[in-house]
Structure 1
Amino acid sequence: MTAVQTASASPVPLRGVIEGFYGTPWQQEERLDILAFCRAEGFNAYLYAPKDDPYHREKWREPYPEDKLRELGALVKAAKAQDVRFIFAVSPGLDVSLHGYKGYADRQKMLAKFETLYALGVRDFAIFFDDIKDKDGAGQAAFLSDVSRELRRRHADIGAFLTVPTEYFYADMQEGGARKPYTDAFTEGLSHDVLVLYTGDG
């Protein structure tokens, strides 16, 4: 009889569910159900990023109405009760300004939105740049790095800060065996504190 050794590995640090699809966003009960599912399956993260929540994408600069903030606050509490990290994301890429005074103003708008969610108990944040036409890799990286740095300067207990770049799968990141200019610029300018999500080869 031959002894078989099994290798042990640490679990993936963040593992869970992303609500990041187009179409009707989940309702509160569905999100609460997903949080319970995450706990039951050993997942530790739920990422709030519904593309058709207007305050997540099209109206990202605008504050959430009070009733929506109450819902989000209840979700944050429910996530904590399930030992699941609630990660709040914004997708500003449709019209965000990355440079000059307008770029500074949009950084302040993003920080204001994050501060509102921080007050609800959120400690993990994300900014997504997927599914847009503008491929200003250097500008996106600077925006992300600035917001992440300032948020961490204000609050010592910030957890993960994530992003999805505009080129978010391998086949779109290279051409003729070489990385495209966007991915090079994005990679070179991004702070190491920002975690980058990819979908894999395709």
Structure 2
Amino acid sequence: MQLILIVPFRMQMWNLNTYLYGPKDDLKHRLLWREVYSAEEEAQLKALVCEAESRGLTFVYALSPGQDIVFSSSCDLTLLIRKLRQVSDLGCQAFALLFDDIDHSMCQSDTEAFSSFAHAQVTVANEIFHFLGEPPVFLFCPTEYCSSLCTPSVSKSPYLLTIGEDLLPGISVIWTGNKVISRELSPESLAEVQSVLRRPPLIWDNLHANDYDSRRVFLGPFKGRPPGLRAHLRGLLLNPNCEFEANFIPLHTLGKEHSAPLLSAALQAWMKELSLPLQPGTVSRSFSHEKTPRRGLCSGSVPLSEAQVRLLVGLYYLPHEHGPPAQNLLQDLTWLKANCHCVSVEEWRDRAGRFLAACDDVALLHSAVVNSINRALLYDIYPYIWDLRNTLLVAKAFICWLGERDTSSGAELHGVEAESWVVKGGLSGEVQVGMI
């Protein structure tokens, strides 16, 4: 809870205005959605609501009842109202009902009561919207929330057509784009869904979400969404990395979309943050909340250099795109293996030397992170840089071995345009594939 109270502070710094609360570690958000919060949980949630309000942020409380709600059950509707009334009494004035990632099937009583799955969802959403007094911010996440999930297509989806026709106009509909994790968003790509929904969508952007792969984190900038896009939207929410400290550049560039150059400015701002001796769950001294207890590792004393920060971001860039350092590593590894029958050629030796030096740079980066003055960064980033360092130690030995071998076999890396979770492991995973 201490860490989550820092979120509004950082968001205010980044010129953001909305925080949607729906953490997966709050069991009463999804799995136990019928249960009200205890007195202690109420106090924690109220503190977060008040902190967000004091920072000028709209706090949106999200609830995900879709896994087991009986839409036709007056009992379930009563429990849903009871839960949202409790949160409303804590000062929350904005809400979201999420029906993502659930089956389209309905129980027998719902089948008898509603003409379709969409009809059932819309009926409950409209009733809750009325109960809450039709708040200015009320979000609805459909089960078909991106183009790739629509059956048979966006324009012909009976589900989306029902949502557009029957959902009250004051309710905003969440959309992630062409895919769950969309490489790009454009006004043209959103025109079709806007027509079907009969309102501009609210984008839930998964560009930096990393909860689908424990070996990936995304430190790169918010990109692929042109500034003019917002005129075609009800709003835009960025679903960030699970690790708090990993989100500095993503959120910094989201909040300052019109400044340029975005990445360089964000890197400079992050450099200042990383030079502070922060423990996990803290911000700078100007923030009044009490610091959390220090953890096991001893404090470091050295800030990361600008070159090291740029290397770190380049190694863990975006789900569809590696940064230059990662691209060079993969290209050199692929070329060296494919041309291992030419190990005596000067070009092979030169590229091998470059690859080995890059591996050494990552090892030095690992040491720098471990000894960094900013311990908050260490605890969030360490598993990723440790994994990559060890993978590259093996890759380095592999290239040295190739240099002493005489072989005529090669290999290529193959990629396809697919969802980002198809290829696991990020750069570490691709390096491992490159050695097969």
Asked whether the 8 Å contact 1:44–1:84 carries over to 2, the reply is yes
Match of 2:26 among 53, 56, 59: 53
Asked whether the 8 Å contact 1:126–1:162 carries over to 2, the reply is yes
Corresponding residue for residue 17 of structure 2: 44
Match of 2:139 among 147, 154, 162: 162
Corresponding residue for residue 123 of structure 2: 142
Corresponding residue for residue 160 of structure 2: 183
Superposition deviation, residue 172 in structure 1: 1.6
Corresponding residue for residue 128 of structure 1: 98
How many residues align? The count is: 168
Superposition deviation, residue 133 in structure 1: 0.5
Asked whether the 8 Å contact 2:46–2:90 carries over to 1, the reply is yes
Could you tell me how far apart the structure 1 residues matched to 2:141 and 2:122 are?
11
Query: SS at 1:46's partner residue?
Result: strand
* TM value normalised by structure 2: 0.37
Which stretch shows the higher mean deviation, 171-180 or 189-198? 171-180
Corresponding residue for residue 111 of structure 1: 81
Corresponding residue for residue 294 of structure 2: none
The RMSD of aligned alpha carbons is 1.6
Superposition deviation, residue 52 in structure 1: 3.6
Q: Which has the higher contact order (CA 8 A, sep 6+)?
A: 1
Pairing 1:64–2:37 present:
yes
Structure (1 or 2) with the greater strand fraction: 1
- For 1:131-165, what per-residue CA distance to the aligned partner results, in whole angstroms no more than 9, with x for missing partners? 10126111001110111012117xxxx33111110
Could you tell me how far apart the structure 2 residues matched to 1:65 and 1:199 are?
33
The residue identity in structure 2 corresponding to 1:194 is I
Could you tell me how far apart the structure 2 residues matched to 1:179 and 1:114 are?
34
Asked whether the 8 Å contact 1:76–1:86 carries over to 2, the reply is yes
Could you tell me how far apart the structure 2 residues matched to 1:159 and 1:167 are?
24
Superposition deviation, residue 175 in structure 1: 2.3
Which stretch shows the higher mean deviation, 44-53 or 176-185? 176-185
Asked whether the 8 Å contact 1:87–1:122 carries over to 2, the reply is yes
Structure (1 or 2) with the greater helix fraction: 2
Task: Please identify the structure whose Cα radius of gyration is greater.
Answer: 2
Structure 1 residues 178 and 64: alpha-carbon distance in aligned structure 2, compared to 1, 3 A threshold: same
Long gaps (5+) in structure 2: 106-116, 180-436
Pairing 1:171–2:148 present:
yes
Query: SS at 1:187's partner residue?
Result: helix
Amino-acid identity (%): 30
Query: SS at 2:3's partner residue?
Result: helix
The residue identity in structure 1 corresponding to 2:37 is Y
* TM value normalised by structure 1: 0.78
Structure 1 residues 145 and 176: alpha-carbon distance in aligned structure 2, compared to 1, 3 A threshold: closer
Query: SS at 1:30's partner residue?
Result: coil
Could you tell me how far apart the structure 2 residues matched to 1:93 and 1:106 are?
11
* 1:90-109 alignment, distance < 5 Å: 90-99=63-72, 102=73, 104-109=74-79
Query: SS at 1:31's partner residue?
Result: coil
Structure 1 residues 178 and 80: alpha-carbon distance in aligned structure 2, compared to 1, 3 A threshold: closer
Long gaps (5+) in structure 1: 1-27
Query: SS at 2:125's partner residue?
Result: helix
Asked whether the 8 Å contact 1:141–1:187 carries over to 2, the reply is no
Query: SS at 1:47's partner residue?
Result: strand
The residue identity in structure 2 corresponding to 1:137 is A
